[in-house]
Structure 1
Amino acid sequence: MSITLNQVRCFIAVAEELHFGRAAERLQMTQPPLSRQVQKLERGVGARLLERDSRGVALTPAGAAFLDDAYRMLATVEASVAHARRVEGGSSGTVHLGFTAVSAIGVLGPLLALLDRELPDVEVVLHERVTGAQVEGLRRGELDLGLARPPFDTGTVSSAVVVREPLLAAVPAGHPLASAQGPLRPEDFDGQPVIGYHPAQARYFHELSVRFLLNSQARTEQHVQQVLTALLLVAAGQGVAFVPASAAALGVAGVVHRPLVDLAATSATGDPARPVELHAIWPRDGLTPLRRRVLDLVRQAAEGDAVGA
């Protein structure tokens, strides 16, 4: 059996007009090739679909049944074509998005709202992972994009900065530094217990903290992996910590956030006022249309949230 969409369209036109001449005019073709297309369709189906006599054209019972299926068939094909075009244009499909816990504070919410509005046919699957696990997920094809902290293996992933924000000191409420005048300097932390970050599992914030405290006599007494854990320990009076400005939005009770002096040593990128960076990362082999559309929305979400502005 060989049936073409052109044959189906020709049959639908004749079935609706019940007249070969009007159907041919509607399809902008002559009547003989229209008749041949319908005849080929009938041979392919193996049933007579139309009654033809001097009085006109009428559907047979088989033709009436086939017409209902023909409408569904054509609608399915047209929907499939439209879906394929949306996927090709990056407006449909599934995107697997990685993110770190802190990146979710300022960017993820606005991003999901933008995706719902701008790309309603895109399914977003979220994966909370530390940066190293995101890079590995991109390498294995498990993720399409990530929101992560540098540094990255540039042989594996490409990246673009989407957010820059200040580094703040998180101090317990009632601590002398909570009410100190002006931005805090490294020497202000001399003798103070510091909640540090794990040098491997939280390498980025570990290095930022170490750079800031390079010339101080602070005591690092804890090493944690998550910014939220650091804030909870600060709230419990266990020491001070250094966190991105967006972490203040967590509203952890008993924690006061204080600005720090702008030191070039705290920034590897030449922006000492906003040394904390969040990057979008994606596979080194490039951006598909869908990844590109989502990356554009990541940038919009970051700009709209104005983190660190």
Structure 2
Amino acid sequence: MFSWIQLESFGAVAEELHFGAAAARLNMAQPPLSRQIQLLERELGAVLFERSSRKVELTAAGRTLLPSARRILDLCSKTELEVRRGSSGDAGAITIGYTAIAGQSALPGILRLASRHLPGVSLVLREAVSTDQLDGLSRGSIAIGLLRPIVARRGVVSRPLMEDRLVAALPEGHQLATGKGVMLKELDGLPLMMYSTAEARYFHDLVMRLYDSAGARANVTQFASQVPALLAFVAAGLGVSLVPASAMGFAPPGVVFEELVGPAGLADLNRADLDIAWSESNTTPAVTRLLEIIPGDTTRR
């Protein structure tokens, strides 16, 4: 089988039609260049050049080989470049998991950063709840997750990405929609659109802690795993819900929001922050570079 150096030598001579000029172009002496051409001709069983004291010309076999040789050399050069870019983080693919709200709030900024700083990297986006993202990070099916800080997972590293809090989502025209905020106690007994315990345990438990802190009774009448579904229930007038403040700009018509007020210590309890997470064992150069350009410097394990 012929080699890269043999094809490169052939291509240079075919384009220069002069062994001396081809050797200078390849930064090598002429005898080794002639040797490579001889080895290639022996491998192919065909004479590729007609040589005389005055000129060098391609034979019919040489003219047949030249287009294919150029394609092979171009492919090899492209492959070498892609490998180099991949090893430096300038190329490759990154699968990013994100929650529905993160897809509206944090994800667009990350996509803009990637487009600006890593134009050769392709991004694959997968919407998933936080628990499914953690599983994906552990399996290696996603490389980066935009998720809520639910539980620690061995081998998964995370850091804060965006501060958030819960606010009350109310049907338009609701008696509590005054623009002055809602006390948690005022939500006592109202139909509550609630997070699923299986898929949205983080938010479910946070809502229950907030209700308990105020001595309010959570009258759960509907469950959903994602915020948009809860907001749809609210817009239909079926009840109230507590959702991340980052969802306020993406709510459907018919939903209004009120800040939660009281009791003392509510601000410390009412934290619904978003983390960025990745696997320690599944970090490619492209993933490392993307993490470097995304703001945030506190790491959790």
Q: Which residue of 2 aligns with 1:193?
A: 191
> Which residue of structure 1 aligns with residue 299 of structure 2?
none
Q: Which runs of 5+ in 2 are unaligned?
A: 297-301
- Aligned counterparts of 2:265 and 2:102: Cα–Cα separation in 1: 23
Cα deviation for residue 13 of structure 1 reads 2.0
Select the residue among 266, 285, 293 that pairs with 2:289.
Answer: 293
2:276 aligned with 1:245, yes or no?
no
Aligned to 1:100: 99
1:278 CA drift (Å):
1.3
Residues 212 and 266 of structure 1 are in contact (CA less than 8 Å); yes or no, is this contact kept in structure 2?
no
Task: Check whether the contact 2:41–2:48 (CA below 8 A) recurs between aligned residues.
Answer: yes
- Aligned-partner Cα distance in 2 for 1:30–1:197: 74
Q: What residue identity is the alignment partner of 1:31?
A: Q
CA shift in 2, pair 1:115/1:90, >3 Å: same
**Unpaired segments of 5 or more residues in structure 1?**
303-309
Shift of residue 76, structure 1, vs aligned partner: 0.5
Aligned equivalents of 1:267, 1:45: Cα separation in 2: 77
The secondary structure found in structure 1 opposite 2:28 is coil
Is the partner of 1:147 in helix, strand or coil?
strand
Please report the TM-score for the alignment, with normalisation by the length of structure 2: 0.87
Check 1:217–1:17 CA distance in 2 against 1; reply closer, same or farther (3 A cut): closer
SS in 1 for 2:97: strand
TM-score of the two chains, using structure 1 as the length reference: 0.85
Tell me, in whole angstroms, the C-alpha distance in 1 between the residues paired with 2:235 and 2:3: 71
Secondary structure, aligned partner of 1:178: coil
Q: Distance in 2 between matches of 1:293 and 1:232?
A: 38
Structure 1 residue 281 and structure 2 residue 277: aligned? yes
- 2:208 matched to which residue of 1? 210
> 1:25-47 CA deviation, whole Å, 9 max, x = no partner?
33333222222222122112221
Offset, 1:218: 3.7
Q: C-alpha distance in 2, partners of 1:180/1:4?
A: 76
The answer (yes or no) to whether the contact 1:194–1:219 under 8 Å persists in 2 is: yes
* Distance (whole Å) between structure 2 residues aligned to residue 22 and residue 201 of structure 1: 69
Q: Which residues of 2 match residues 1-309 of structure 1 at below 5 A? A: 1=1, 3-181=2-180, 183-213=181-211, 214-224=213-223, 225-261=225-261, 264-265=265-266, 267=268, 275-285=271-281, 287-296=283-292, 299=294
Letter in 1 for 2:190: Q
Deviation at 1:23, TM superposition (A): 2.2
Matches of 2:206 and 2:43 in 1, distance apart? 72
User: Following the alignment from structure 2 to structure 1, what is the Cα–Cα distance between the partners of residues 288 and 26?
Assistant: 39
Given that 2:231 and 2:251 are in contact with CA atoms closer than 8 Å, whether structure 1 keeps it comes out as no
AA aligned to 1:9 is: E
- Tell me: CA distance 1:35–1:217, structure 2 relative to 1, closer, same or farther (3 Å): closer
Residue identity over aligned pairs, in percent, reads 40
| CA deviation vs aligned residue, 1:98-146 (integer Å, no higher than 9, x gap) | 2222221212334334444543433333222222222222222222222
Change (3 A) 1:283 1:53: same
Residues 52-87 of structure 1 show CA distances to partners (whole Å, capped at 9, x for unaligned) of: 122221111111221222211111100000111122
What letter is aligned with 2:33? L
Q: 1:188 to 1:180 in 2, by over 3 A?
A: farther
Cα distance in structure 2, aligned partners of 1:219 and 1:211 = 10
Specify the SS of the correspondent of 1:179: coil
Q: State whether residues 196 and 220 of structure 1, in contact with CA within 8 Å, keep that contact through their aligned partners in structure 2.
A: no
CA distance in 2, matches of 1:236, 1:34: 79
CA gap 1:198/1:223 in 2 versus in 1, 3 angstroms: farther
Contact 1:135 1:156 in 2 (8 A): no
Per-residue Cα deviation, 1:166-207 (whole angstroms, up to 9, x for no partner): 3211122222221153x4332333443333323333211112
Change (3 A) 1:199 1:264: farther
Distance 1:244 1:14, change over 3 A: same
Q: In the aligned structure 2, how far is the partner of 1:212 from the partner of 1:109? A: 30
Q: CA RMSD in A?
A: 2.4
Cα distance in 2 for partners of 1:207, 1:219 equals 12
> What is the alpha-carbon distance in structure 2 between the residues aligned to residue 125 and residue 25 of structure 1?
46
Letter matched to residue 186 of structure 2: D
| Cα separation, 2, equivalents of 1:215 and 1:89 | 53
